[in-house]
């Protein structure tokens, strides 16, 4: 696979199977087995976490617990399922209010003001089901832990 938007047509979105997502190391065996037994409804989203810093890697259980507290379902240590975009965005807001230290921004003044980091802490990818009738998925590089969406 060459990326999310492989075609020169900006309206064309590349689609992936569960096997593709596993080969890309986005989903582990536990998550794939769960999804085979529990197909994702159309509106559900999978938040896939990549713990970048040593601190967040060591706190991944606390981070997972907080994400579950705010409406997520843990599928595997790096994958949390949400029912809707609203649920995901509400969880993000509540996480920032309660645990700003896991968030990041490239703006040092904002980082200091909000007690967050000025370097990437946790990268995230969203996996969205195309429909319950197919085994195809879309990806989005949604920056769940970024204070601003245009932070790197």
Query: What's the confidence (pLDDT) of residue 150?
Result: 55
The whole-chain average pLDDT of the chain stands at 85
9 falls in which pLDDT band (50, 70, 90)? very low
pLDDT score for 132: 59
Q: Please report the pLDDT score of residue 88 as a whole number.
A: 95
Residue 21 has pLDDT above 50, yes or no: yes
Q: Residue 1: pLDDT above 80?
A: no
Query: Where in 1-152 does DSSP place strands (E)?
Result: 45-51, 73-76, 79-82, 122-129, 137-140
Distances (CA, A) of 37 to 56, 57, 128: 30, 28, 17
pLDDT for 151 equals 54
The mean per-residue pLDDT over the stretch 54-73 comes to 94
Percent of residues, the chain, with pLDDT higher than 70: 86
Q: Average pLDDT for residues 122-135, to the nearest whole number?
A: 81
Q: Does the pLDDT value for residue 31 go beyond 50?
A: yes
Burial call 121-135: b when 16+ CB within 10 Å, e when fewer: bbbbbbbbbeeeeeb
The residue-averaged pLDDT of 31-51 equals: 91
pLDDT at 32 over 90: yes
Q: Does residue 4 surpass a pLDDT of 60?
A: no
């Amino acid at each position: 696979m060459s990326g999310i938007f492989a075609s020169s047509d900006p309206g064309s979105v590349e689609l992936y199977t569960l096997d593709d997502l596993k080969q890309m190391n986005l989903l582990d065996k536990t998550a794939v087995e769960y999804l085979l037994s529990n197909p994702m409804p159309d509106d559900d989203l999978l938040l896939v976490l990549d713990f970048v810093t040593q601190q967040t890697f060591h706190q991944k259980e606390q981070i997972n617990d907080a994400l579950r507290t705010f409406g997520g379902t843990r599928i595997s240590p790096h994958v949390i399922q949400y029912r809707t975009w609203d649920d995901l965005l509400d969880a993000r807001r509540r996480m920032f209010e309660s645990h700003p230290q896991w968030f990041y921004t490239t703006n040092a003044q904002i980082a200091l003001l909000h007690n967050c980091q000025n370097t990437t802490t946790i990268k995230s990818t969203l996996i969205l089901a195309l429909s319950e009738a197919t085994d195809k998925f879309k990806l989005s590089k949604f920056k769940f832990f970024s204070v601003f969406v245009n932070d790197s």
